[in-house]
Amino acid sequence: MCYTLPTVGVLAIVGPTAVGKTAVAVELAGLTDAEIVSADSMAVYRGMDLATAKPTAEERARARFHLVDVTDPSEAFSAGRFQQSAVAAINDILSRGKTAMLVGGTGLYVRAALDGLDTGALQANVEIRARLREESAQALWDRLRDVDPGTASRLHPKDLKRIVRALEIFEITGMPASKVYKEAGPRAANYPGVRRFGLTMERAALYARIETRIDRQLAEGLVDEIRRLLDSGVEPGCVAMQGLGYKQMARYLLGESGFEEAVFLFKRDTRRFAKRQWTWFRADPRIRWIDVGDLSPRQTAELIFEEVSGA
């Protein structure tokens, strides 16, 4: 049986990777006749299915998803493009009298969709990005430390993707990325009545989930999926291939690392990513956190439904 939430048009479900956001959202969609707008920077890419942990065929049969499989891996998908697409999807859902659920762990995307983030200055500049990538990660990190020490202190010297992005923003705007994001931060909220829920669990338990999920992705054919992407002409240096799992396992396929090393880095980097997600979302006092360690997805969905409906 479906229920409606007349006083809540938009819900957000956020949290670290592997915590179970999609499963909870699917259960909640069944309770509320809601539609799900994915806020995952990797789920937008077609043909990149396993390491992105996209909704399964069964989950897609139970709930309608938006912003999944909307672009090719060869195309860069920016926060600005996501903002436009997500707002259009949410408004369409609301116009049909349904609840819109924004679900995902990409913090900047969530902010862009819900808080009116002005991402105009943050659009990707392909020429600048390509030029920067001609230099070593260490040299770029040293430069970033000089122009934006705050951002540099949060990045590993070998995190080429984020170092390049920070320097790209600096060249476009003339300001440190940390300052740009701060000044572009929440403006007039697109959906001031949105209810935000964060899913969390004990860290060791989440890390165990991450390990198990990665082992399953590998068993289900992740390496073959990446091989097909490379064989189809997707460049290993493109934005999409910098995603967790794709970057590490592509290096293995290209002969730049061994299999065990690639898997180790895949798991380690995913744990680090989860930690960064916690840090990002914990800074938002509007989020109501739920420890889902002892709860099933259905129980969590029912708890959220009771809170937003006043039942």
- Specify the pLDDT at position 5: 53
When the pLDDT of each residue in the chain is averaged and rounded to a whole number, the result is 89
Domain identity same for 108 and 190: yes
Domain identity same for 16 and 101: yes
Q: How many domains is the chain partitioned into structurally?
A: 2
CATH code: domain of residue 200: 3.40.50.300
Return d(Cα 230, Cα 245) in angstroms, integer: 14
277 within some domain:
yes
- Specify the pLDDT at position 309: 84
Residue 162 belongs to domain spanning? 120-183
CATH code: domain of residue 137: 1.10.20.140
| Structure confidence at residue 158 as a pLDDT band (50, 70, 90) | confident
Residue range 146-156: mean pLDDT, rounded = 88
The structure's pTM equals: 0.81
Domain identity same for 273 and 285: yes
> Which of residues 248 and 116 earns the better pLDDT score?
248
Residue 233: partners with Cβ closer than 8 Å, 6 or more residues away:
74
Per residue in 191-223, pLDDT (tens digit) is 888 999 999 999 999 999 999 999 999 999 999
Question: Are the C-beta atoms of 66 and 36 separated by less than 8 Å?
Answer: yes
Residue range 133-158: mean pLDDT, rounded = 89
- Name the burial class of residue 44, with classes exposed (0-12), middle (13-18) and buried (19+) by CB atoms within 10 angstroms of its CB: buried
pLDDT at 119 over 70: no
Q: How far is CA 45 from CA 40, 122, 148, 240, in A?
A: 10, 20, 31, 7
pLDDT at 190 over 70: yes
pLDDT at 80 over 90: no
Domain identity same for 133 and 200: no
Domain identity same for 69 and 148: no
- Specify the pLDDT at position 2: 56
Domain stop point among 166, 183, 200: 183
- Specify the pLDDT at position 36: 98
Domain stop point among 147, 167, 183: 183
Domain identity same for 244 and 288: yes
Domain identity same for 166 and 254: no
Return d(Cα 5, Cα 107) in angstroms, integer: 25
Q: Which two tokens stand for residue 295?
A: 């709860």
